């Protein structure tokens, strides 16, 4: 009978250790997922910042160049503005079928990485 009590106590200790290890593993996985997500967001924001200024200066330079070619600065800038308007319309039209699923897949891939 003592042997049975001893085995039950050992089993109880092993189960407790198993649960503690499982909880620690879950915390480690959650921490890794959160840190990956936050680092991806930070990198995304930085890339957005640089891409914004890149597009701004490319658009400004292209507008200026087209303006000198056409001998009308306003026409050059309106042509560039029209190009950016077409890009916005395309992004808006494709947002549900292409852009949103693409972003969702990236997020899901990062979470399960």
Convert the pLDDT of each residue in 47-89 to its tens digit. 999 999 999 999 999 999 999 999 999 999 999 999 999 999 9
Whole-model pTM?
Answer: 0.61
Identify the domain containing residue 19 by its residue range: 2-111
- Residue 5's pLDDT is 67
Helix, strand, coil fractions of the chain, as percent rounded to 5? 95, 0, 5
Q: What angle do CA 56, 59, 60 make, to 5 degrees?
A: 85
Residues 6+ apart with CB under 8 A from 84: 59
Number of domains into which the chain is organized:
1
């Amino acid at each position: 009978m003592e042997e049975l009590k001893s085995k039950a106590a050992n089993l109880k200790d092993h189960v407790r250790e198993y649960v503690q290890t499982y909880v620690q593993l879950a915390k480690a996985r959650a921490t890794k997922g959160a840190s990956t997500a936050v680092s991806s967001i930070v990198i995304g924001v930085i890339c957005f910042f640089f891409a914004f200024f890149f597009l701004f200066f490319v658009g400004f330079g292209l507008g200026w160049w087209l303006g000198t070619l056409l001998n009308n600065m306003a026409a050059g800038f309106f042509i560039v503005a029209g190009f950016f308007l077409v890009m916005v319309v395309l992004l808006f039209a494709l947002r549900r079928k292409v852009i949103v699923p693409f972003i969702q897949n990236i997020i899901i891939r990062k979470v399960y990485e």
